[in-house]
């Protein structure tokens, strides 16, 4: 069998393929650049990369696409599903890592660490008297998206003594009560009442630009906004303007509409922004779990077994899967 990877997975994942698969590591995020290598590929492993319908259509032997993560907006899932090709994802593998990253941004911003570091290194000891830092205890953390990562973020925030406000269109009021969270049917009301807002939703047509100028104006001028989900959910031009005008106090983002962003990206020029290069899930622990889970799922599919963690389970309605059994986890 043959695996093509846009980038190599970690050593622990590569070891699972030792002596059983030919591996082609492209070090290129665009499979259309190496369609010759895709001709006999059984599996394509996509990290921070794309896989469009053209790449899928020109890979006649392709049986499975693996994503080391839970987001799959960079993969043409519909094109893969139409051909009976499951798109493997790795839910649960990076929950804690992403949640900790979001809360780390909350701490860095609430303690004014970025400005304090810059000013002190420039010789300004008096920055200690800026009086911009504040405690998280007693503040309201508004969590938009209460999937596994959102819930883990809420758990950590509760441990810091914060109150939780929750919005998720799939969350019931009863579920919010069980989480000891205040339930919001309308996320704009959550924006008004939260001291910190943390976003944990997938990028879809419904969530694209769900935080734009209109919504930013609703937030407290002392509020912080955190995004460790997907670029495109927050309108970046509007956020940059809001930060420059003091509409909100600060923001933290791990994701961008264009990755990597341009060097002159207006958002990166904002001093009250903390940014990271889509690395929230890149802890040692999460990387190993995501890689091994992805490889295990791909191997199961190549062997003709149905793997449960896929982007679209309707793929198993395809004729090629009619007689297939489910893989053992």
Indicate if the pLDDT at residue 48 is higher than 80: no
Catalytic, 278? Answer yes
Rounded Cα gap, residues 124 and 117, in angstroms: 10
Q: Give the chain's radius of gyration (CA, Å).
A: 22
Ramachandran angles phi, psi of 183, nearest 5°: -90, 135
Rounded Cα gap, residues 189 and 194, in angstroms: 9
Are 97 and 286 in contact by the 8 Å Cβ rule? The answer is yes
Verify that 266 and 125 share a domain, yes or no.
yes
Are 109 and 135 in contact by the 8 Å Cβ rule? The answer is no
Angle of CA points 306, 53, 260, to nearest 5°: 100
Asked, for residue 172, whether it belongs to a domain, the answer is yes
Mean predicted confidence (pLDDT) in 287-299: 97
Catalytic, 259? Answer yes
- Give the sign of the dihedral formed by CA 114, CA 119, CA 125, CA 128: negative
Residue showing tokens 């003091």: 246
pLDDT of residue 17: 97
pLDDT of residue 12: 97
pLDDT in tens, 91-142: 999 999 999 999 999 999 999 999 999 999 999 999 999 889 999 999 999 9
Rounded Cα gap, residues 72 and 67, in angstroms: 7
Verify that 224 and 116 share a domain, yes or no.
yes
Verify that 241 and 122 share a domain, yes or no.
yes
Of 47, 151, 200, 230, which one is the catalytic site residue?
A: 230
Are 17 and 23 in contact by the 8 Å Cβ rule? The answer is yes
Rounded Cα gap, residues 193 and 219, in angstroms: 7
Verify that 11 and 149 share a domain, yes or no.
no
Confidence category of residue 252, pLDDT binned at 50, 70, 90? very high
**The total number of structural domains that make up the chain:** 2
Mean pLDDT, rounded, of the chain:
96
Nearest Cα to 136, choosing from 116, 115, 156, 166?
A: 156
Are 230 and 73 in contact by the 8 Å Cβ rule? The answer is yes
Verify that 62 and 102 share a domain, yes or no.
no
Verify that 34 and 60 share a domain, yes or no.
yes
pTM of the model: 0.88
Residue showing tokens 């599996």: 43
Catalytic, 263? Answer no
Verify that 156 and 66 share a domain, yes or no.
no
Confidence category of residue 214, pLDDT binned at 50, 70, 90? very high
Name residue 4's beta-bridge partners: 24, 44
Mean predicted confidence (pLDDT) in 262-266: 94
Indicate if the pLDDT at residue 7 is higher than 80: yes
CATH code for the domain of 257? 3.40.50.720
3-state secondary structure of 225: strand
Of 259, 284, 285, 303, which one is the catalytic site residue?
A: 259
Asked, for residue 326, whether it belongs to a domain, the answer is no
Verify that 68 and 113 share a domain, yes or no.
no
Indicate if the pLDDT at residue 47 is higher than 90: no
Verify that 176 and 159 share a domain, yes or no.
yes
- Domain of residue 80: give its range: 2-93+284-321
Burial of 41 (0-12, 13-18, 19+ CB in 10 A): buried
pLDDT of residue 164: 98
Of 96, 101, 200, 278, which one is the catalytic site residue?
A: 278
Rounded Cα gap, residues 293 and 5, in angstroms: 15
């Amino acid at each position: 069998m043959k695996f093509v990877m846009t980038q190599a997975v970690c050593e622990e994942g590569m070891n699972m393929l030792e002596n059983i698969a030919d591996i082609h590591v492209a070090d290129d995020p665009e499979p259309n650049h190496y369609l010759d290598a895709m001709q006999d590929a059984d599996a394509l492993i996509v990290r921070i990369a794309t896989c469009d319908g053209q790449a899928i259509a020109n890979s006649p032997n392709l049986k499975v696409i693996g994503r080391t993560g839970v987001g799959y907006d960079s993969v043409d899932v519909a094109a893969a599903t139409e051909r009976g090709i499951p798109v493997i994802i790795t839910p649960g593998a990076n929950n804690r890592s992403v949640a900790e990253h979001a809360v780390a941004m909350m701490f860095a911003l609430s303690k004014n660490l970025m400005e304090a570091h810059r000013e002190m290194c420039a010789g300004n000891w008096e920055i200690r008297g800026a009086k911009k830092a504040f405690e998280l205890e007693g503040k309201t953390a508004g969590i938009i998206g209460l999937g596994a990562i959102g819930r883990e973020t809420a758990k950590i925030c509760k441990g810091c003594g914060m109150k939780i406000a929750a919005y998720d269109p799939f969350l019931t009021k009863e579920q919010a009560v069980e989480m000891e969270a205040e339930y919001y049917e309308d996320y704009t009301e959550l924006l008004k009442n939260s001291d910190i807002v943390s976003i944990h939703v997938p990028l879809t047509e419904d969530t694209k630009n769900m935080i734009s100028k209109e919504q930013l104006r609703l937030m407290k001028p002392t509020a912080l906004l955190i995004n460790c989900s997907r670029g495109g959910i927050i309108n970046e031009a509007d956020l940059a303007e809001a930060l420059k005008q003091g509409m909100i106090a600060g923001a933290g983002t791990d994701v961008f509409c264009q990755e990597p962003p341009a060097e002159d990206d207006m958002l990166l020029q904002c001093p009250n922004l903390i940014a990271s290069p889509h690395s929230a899930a890149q802890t040692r622990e999460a990387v190993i779990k995501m890689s091994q889970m992805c490889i295990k799922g791909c191997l199961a599919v190549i062997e003709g077994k149905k793997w449960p963690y896929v982007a679209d389970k309707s793929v198993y309605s395809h004729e090629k899967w009619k007689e297939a059994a489910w893989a053992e986890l």
